[in-house]
Amino acid sequence: MKTIIKAPPRRNPQDAEATTNRPENAATGKRLPYGLLDCAIFLAFSTSLIFAMCATGRPGA
């Protein structure tokens, strides 16, 4: 069985420039995915759900 040797992928010179020009700070341009109101709504629903699951659970289980 013959071995097929594949050539490495050709890279566009413009893409090479784009990958080398990185910001100095890694956090530049990043923002939080959720706002404060979203976090508050999640906490309210999750705590009430956990409380309901614990309140309706079988004791000693």
Q: Which residues contact 23 (CB under 8 A, 6 or more apart)?
A: 29
**Per-residue pLDDT tens digits for 25-58:** 666 667 778 889 999 999 999 999 888 888 888 6
Under the phi-then-psi rule, with left for phi > 0, alpha for psi from -120 to 50, and beta for the rest, what region is 54?
alpha
Is residue 29 within 8 A of residue 23, CB to CB? The reply is: yes
What is the C-alpha to C-alpha distance for residues 61 and 50, in angstroms, rounded to an integer?
A: 16
What is the C-alpha to C-alpha distance for residues 51 and 45, in angstroms, rounded to an integer?
A: 10
The pTM (predicted TM-score) of the whole model is 0.43
